[in-house]
Structure 1
Amino acid sequence: MDDDTSATLASGRLGTALLRWRSLVGIASGISVIVGAAISVGQFREFVDNSVKGDMSRRLAALSHVKEFFAEDAKMARRAHRFLSTNWLQIRPRIQEKIREAGSGEAFYLSDEMADFAAVHYHYEQLGALVKLGYIEFPLVYEIIAFPDEYMDTVAPLRKALAAHWKGPGRPLDDLGSNIQWLRACYEFSRRLPHGKEPGCPE
């Protein structure tokens, strides 16, 4: 066998080996892509499952909170009615005098004769804060808890006077009851929505 023939055979073997190597590399790459895709799909499915479970847990936790507020809300309705039918009758014509005698709006708010008012105020202030901060979903609150518009309108002069002198004569707490007002705005906004649209809060 001459040198040219040997070189030709060697070149042919090298070409065949390279083709086989490329085929193996191609197969390996394909397997890597398939495995990678399988892992990605698996990870995505796990992510979705965890998201669904997380959302369900969040909703169940929200429902638990709302159930507590619903049970408490019935008590607050009775306390609101009791306040309007008893102490409010004596307080209404003497709001400014009562605050001066107590020394500040806060001191009067914490007095025994204001216990029912304070309990109702705190209940709705807390509910408004929890909704605003996203701890409880408003649509669920809207469907279960009725906002006491009439009561809030009746005691509005008292709440305004308390805020104006909260820290003492002429020393206000401007955001007193702000979460209540925000919660009320959500109710009023939702009442105006078309039937079937999910309740929400104004932006």
Structure 2
Amino acid sequence: MTKGITIATAKAVAAGNSAHQEDIIHTANLSRKAVSDMLTTCKVKPTAEQKQHLAACSKRVAGAVTELIQTAEAMKGTEWVDPEDPTVIAETELLGAAASIEAAAKKLEQLKPRAKPKEQRFVTFPFFIFSQARMVAAATSNLCEAANASVQGHASEEKLISSAKQVAASTAQLLVACKVKADQDSEAMRRLQVCS
């Protein structure tokens, strides 16, 4: 039974050297099983003296496990995050939204207007839509910065709310600008409304 403890200890040292999360998790599970198996075996024919000795040993093992956990926590550094943390989820979603809007703005920049010789205002219209799309991207970028600052405690909730309203307003303006020229029943217009 003690051989399992020795193996688990060696694995813990190796996991500490590799600093890979999966190695640490595997070692923790292996250690838990080794200690459990040893305690089960020790409890088969206990005497009063053995029970006291086992209790003292168990406390030392528990202390060592606690120290191992604390050391592993200290080793993880700042690059490890909890994927279930709501702030991490929000940051990921906001960064994804900003990237999507930026990509859409670049695509709009490449579009060319249809030639309509007698309609002067159409010449400036694609530039206007592109400008509106840029405003949405900028507002989203501001929202991401405000959210990040808020999570770190450097910005107020009001700034975050204001940034969110700015994204909503600029998105609404982009939609209105597109409705002026687009066919209301077109697939492109339907997609734009869903996105907005």
TM-score (normalizing by structure 1): 0.30
Question: So what's the TM-score if we normalise by structure 2?
Answer: 0.31
Question: Looking at both structures, which has the greater relative contact order when contacts are Cα pairs under 8 Å and sequence separation is at least 6?
Answer: 1
